[in-house]
Every structure is written in C-alpha cells, then in structure tokens.
Amino acid sequence: MKIQMVDLHNQYVKIKNEIDSNIQEVINNTQFIKGPQIKQFEEALAKELEVKHVIACANGTDALQIAMMALDLKPGDEIILPVFTYVATAEVIALLGLTPVMVDVDPNTFCIDVNLIASKISVRTKAIVPVHLFGQCANMDAIMEIANKHNLFVIEDTAQAIGALYRSERREARDEKESRVQNPESRQEIGEADGLLDAQGLDSRLSSLDSKTNNLDSPELLGTGGFWTLDSKSAGTIGHIGTTSFFPSKNLGCYGDGGALMTNDDELAKKIRMICNHGQSVQYVHDIIGVNSRLDSIQAAVLNAKLPHLKSYTAARNEAASWYDEMLSGHPNIIIPKRNPNSTHVFHQYTIRIQDKNASSQEPAARSLQRDQLRKLLSEKGIPSMVYYPIELHKQKAFEKYWDGVERFPVSEELVQTVLSLPMHTEMTREMVGYVCETLVGIMNDEL
Ligand SMILES: Cc1ncc(COP(=O)(O)O)c(C=O)c1O
C-alpha cells in the first residue's frame, strides 16, 4: 500500500476541471500579477473566515513580517513567541531587529503555555505571536486578556490552522444557560458552541434558531470542523492581525508559495495593503517603506478552486484523525494528540508522542534514538513520518544570541525528543490509517 505524508496529486485529480480551467483563464487574459483572481480570492476567504479584510501576499513568512511592519514594531521591541514552532515565526522578528522572547509550550496542545507569558513581559514587550500549531488554536482567551492588560498587539500565526474555530471560555455562563433550554438534544449542541452570549442573548438566539430550523445539521450553522459556528471565531481573526500560508502542503495550499493577512481593522488593512506593494497606495507614490510581496494570479486561481472544498478537506482530516485515535489510543507507549476544548482541530498534522518503555530511567538522547529508530523501521515498511520539530528555537545556531544558555524549556526539550507526525492528508482512507497503525504498534511492541 502506498502511503504518503501528503497526497496533493489525488486531491488535484478530484477537482482537476476547476483547477485547470481557472489556471487557463489566467493564461488567456495574461494578467499574471494583480489579476481579478486575487480580489475574488480575498473576498471569498474574508467571507469564509468572517473577517473584514484579507490581504493576499507572497508567503506566510512575509505575512508575519508585514504584520510586524504594519504595527510599527521597532528594533529593540520584544516579541513573545513559543519556543517550539517553525523557524519563520522567529526569523522575521530577528530580521526586523526585534527581540524574540521565547516561551515554553503546553504539553497537551503544543501551543504557547499561557501561564508562562506574564513572567516574560517587560517594559519593552510590544506583541505576542501565538502559533496555532498543528491545526488547533492556542488559548486565545488568556492571550487576549494578557495583551489587553499590558497593551500588547497580538499577531496570530495561523499558517497551520486555517479554518479552525475558537470559542470563548465562559463555561459557567454557558452551563447555566444550557440548563434552561427545554429541548435536551438542541441543549447539548447549542451549549457546545455558545460561549459568548449572556443568558438573555442565548434565549433569544435559541428561539430564533428554533423558529428558523429544527435541523441541527443545517450547513448554515455548522463550522468547518463540524462545530457550531455561533459565537465562535476563525483562527487568525481574534488578535489584531492574523497571518497564514498557502504553501502547497498546508490545509489550504496553492501550487507554489502564497500567504495572506487577516484583520478587522480598516486602517491596519490599508497599511498592510500598501506595505505588500512597495508602500504605495497610488502608483509611484511611496508613503511608507514596503516590500514586494504579492500572491500571483495563478496561485489565486488555484486557491479559488480549492477554497470551496476547505470544509470537506477539514472533515476528511478529522475523520483520519479519529481513525488514528481509535487505533492508537490505550497503547502504553503512545500519547495521541489532545484537543483544546475551546478550539476545533483542523489536523494539519497528526502528531503523537512516543514514550519509551522505561521513561523515567531514560536520558532524553535515548528517547529520541528510540523515536528515530521507529521512524527508520516505519520507513522500511513504506510509511513516511516526520519530526516537527527536531530542534527548539533557542538551540538553533541562528538564534543563539537570544538564549542565555541557562534558561530551560522543559516541555519543548522533551517534545523534540518524542514527537512524531504521521501521514495526514485529505485522501487518507481507513485502510491506510489501519496499515500505519498496525505497523507502528507492531514495531513498538516487538522491536523497540
Ligand atoms: C507556523 C508557521 N509559520 C509560518 C510559516 C511560513 O509560511 P511560508 O512557508 O508560506 O513562508 C509556516 C510554514 O511552514 C509555518 O508552519
């Protein structure tokens, strides 16, 4: 059985006609830069994410840099970010002369540990960059609360989590409201999604829902991950600016490089658009320093064909994740990914942790040896796997000047030794997941 980490070919084959005709249209009209496809895509994505502005750019790394430029962050400003992430998040901070301040992550969600942020705030801190790693949101309630308290900007790195939904955490109010709903079936469903309304608000929302529809599966009301969209927000639309990547293997990937920024702030949107295009709003008039970072029309044409399928892609990833969960849970040496109860998961990655058999007696190096041996044996059976990420930011040579050599990041230090991302894409079948799990468990039981 052929198993791939990502299967873009078979995904393409299913929508070949849409993709081919969209690309052909760009070639026919030859507007390769700034074609009408860009605006069409920006508007469609803004509608999908329920955000006022989407500004497309050349890639997700540029999106982060442009966000920081738009917020006027200056050399010496400190930016808080997780220490366990893709390098791009930190790279642009350093590139702009800002100072990355690294924070350890939560062992369950792999996202920034919000309990550790406050102690990292100084008078120079200007922004927090949470990364919604592997497809689910960081704890945005706590992050926004800290940011508001200390007057900080929040830039959400949503490169891996497009389409994920976050619902606010006002559980007590929600529980109280739930108990007042008469219909027990709708009580559970609506309570799941409703974290923001006050009791009165819920009552009126419920009665309007009741009169509108008794069909709880109404697509109008279901979010990308199958959650209720009522009062939840899309990843990337909660902070001041959200950024994302359309790198081919991303959940919404184009056929080259691509990226975008999201914001609800009109002024910021205007500035971001100018920065993306050499700091100009009128041709050859440059009011601010910008960059050349545009999404090509051909890439926008691909994204226009794929965006209508994002919900079904997310559902397919969730289905594959649920098969993995079912087949791997309960194994004493495998920790399956845990879900943030306030976020849907779009499973950009399905990342397990390998616990060795004598965890407490093993040195970290021995643990990664075991994980790496597992990878090798899986590969011999035709199963690819990846280690996202093998080195924490503070241990990367490029970032050594930002680490005092003393501070420890124990969770991340453990994760780099134990994480393993398994094949995950929209074309996974139950048989494929079964083969991966059977082989993995067989190796774990017999050979490690
Ligand atoms: C978390 C995160 N941030 C930023 C990026 C950068 O995106 P791009 O490759 O489009 O520049 C990526 C891409 O892998 C990513 O995973």
At 172, the pLDDT band (50, 70, 90 cuts) reads: very low
Task: Report the distance separating Cα 34 and Cα 272, nearest Å.
Answer: 16
Neighbours of 435 (CB within 10 A): 17
Task: Report the distance separating Cα 151 and Cα 154, nearest Å.
Answer: 10
Neighbours of 285 (CB within 10 A): 8
Ligand 1 atom nearest to 85, measured from its CA: 1
Burial environment of residue 239 by CB neighbours within 10 A (0 to 12, 13 to 18, 19 or more): buried
**Residue 361, pLDDT score:** 52
Ligand 1 atom nearest to 88, measured from its CA: 4
Task: Report the distance separating Cα 205 and Cα 190, nearest Å.
Answer: 10
* Ligand 1 mean position, distance from CA 88 (Å): 6
Mutate to test the pocket of ligand 1, among 95, 136, 247, 386 (most ligand atoms within 8 A of CB): 247
Task: Report the distance separating Cα 158 and Cα 254, nearest Å.
Answer: 16
Task: Report the distance separating Cα 125 and Cα 106, nearest Å.
Answer: 21
> Nearest Cα to 163, choosing from 251, 66, 222?
251
pLDDT tens-place string over residues 414-437: 999 999 999 999 999 999 999 999
Q: Give SS3 for 340.
A: coil
Q: Is the CB of 252 under 6 A from ligand 1?
A: no
Q: Is the CB of 88 under 6 A from ligand 1?
A: yes
Share of the chain above pLDDT 70, in %: 84
Task: Name which of 227-241, 307-321, 356-370, 374-388 the model is least confident about.
Answer: 356-370
Mutate to test the pocket of ligand 1, among 110, 158, 244, 245 (most ligand atoms within 8 A of CB): 245
Tell me the sheet residues that pair with 350. Answer: 422
Residue 249 has pLDDT above 90, yes or no: yes
**Residue 210, pLDDT score:** 36
Task: Report the distance separating Cα 427 and Cα 251, nearest Å.
Answer: 12
Query: Amino acid letter at 345?
Result: H
> Nearest Cα to 295, choosing from 266, 253, 264?
253
**Residue 186, pLDDT score:** 42
pLDDT tens-place string over residues 270-325: 999 999 999 998 999 999 999 999 999 999 999 999 999 999 999 999 999 999 99
Task: Report the distance separating Cα 148 and Cα 158, nearest Å.
Answer: 20
CA distances from residue 60 to 64, 67, 237, 279, 295 in whole angstroms, order as listed: 6, 11, 16, 19, 11
Backbone angles phi, psi at 411, to 5 degrees: -70, -50
> Nearest Cα to 58, choosing from 233, 305, 278, 271?
278
Q: Give SS3 for 244.
A: strand
* Ligand 1 mean position, distance from CA 182 (Å): 46
Backbone angles phi, psi at 167, to 5 degrees: -120, 140
Cβ–Cβ under 8 Å, residues 129 and 153: no
By DSSP bridging, strand 78-82 and strand 99-103 are parallel
Residue 192 has pLDDT above 50, yes or no: no
At 365, the pLDDT band (50, 70, 90 cuts) reads: low
Tell me the sheet residues that pair with 78. Answer: 99, 125
**Residue 204, pLDDT score:** 47
Task: Report the distance separating Cα 320 and Cα 422, nearest Å.
Answer: 11
